[in-house]
Structure 1
Amino acid sequence: MDGLKHNLLNIIQLCDKGFKVIFEASHCIIKDIQSDKTIFMGHRCDNVYAINISKYVGYDRCFSSMHDQSWLWHRRLGHANMDLISQLNKDELVRGLPKINFQKDKVCEACQMGKQIKNSFKNKNFISTTRPLELLHIDLFGPSRTPSIGGKSYAFVIVDDFSRYT
């Protein structure tokens, strides 16, 4: 979020990692479920619960961003591949693009999900219908580049599953 001056904690991720989060009118408490030990305590400021991290210096906690600058720019540029971003950087084609090393050292979950494909349906070797017009396969497509003899650019195709009449 542009202009956000504070780090935000994701409550769902805390719960998934084995923490209990308790909200009350004036404060919130984050506890470890297994040991019932209070990990953090925050106070309410207007409509936000704030945790003062400097109080917890002695704890072994890591508060760092999961994404470095190269992956931030990967997302900003529409999930462009790192070779393309390196080329853009080398040729100075994008204003504000920092001079950093763009290499694919991690896997982008959004890119991975976008590249996954669904398996096609298995072919049926039998006719599952018992009479004509019980099941119709219908397709409307167009506009096609080449119009029909009558000058039409769209086509409506109906195939009867039982007789295969088109």
Structure 2
Amino acid sequence: MTDIRTRLATGSLTSPAPLASDLRSADTRDCPSRTDVLGAALADVVGGPVGRHALIGRTRFMTPLRVMFVIALVFLALGWSTKAACLQTTGTGPGDKRVANWDNQRAYYELCYSDTVPLYGAELLSQGKFPYKSSWVETDSTGAPQINTTGGWRCATWNIRC
């Protein structure tokens, strides 16, 4: 069996069917930098419109989508590495008996604290409720009921009926 490079060099490697023509060209594409006023203005900021002889879509390695994936991966890795110290737990036994290590205000100086965990149960996020939206009825010194709500500022600022 011969090497494919030698077959290519000698011309003995042929296709069973004729090769399809490459239809990717700048003529059949809509280039907003040429047809749209705003697109043309924005293209001038980054170097001008696409050239007449540009072959769009023939990039083999770093496409814009791959660049976005790399950027997302970098930021996800940074996020994970900054929160890796928060994974320390205390206690013994199975995982549900262990708790996060919050000794000596560690959750605050290592930036581990998040309101999501305590409010998941306290503000009924576990039941699909909206956080900080609660109301209750209290009585004042005369015994008249007063409705207190955390969203009460709406009544004062927008002058609406609550």
Q: Which structure's CA Rg is the greater one? A: 2
TM-score, L = length of structure 2 = 0.25
Task: Name the structure, 1 or 2, with higher relative contact order (CA <8 Å, separation 6+).
Answer: 1
TM-score, L = length of structure 1 = 0.24
Which one has a larger percent strand, Structure 1 or Structure 2?
1
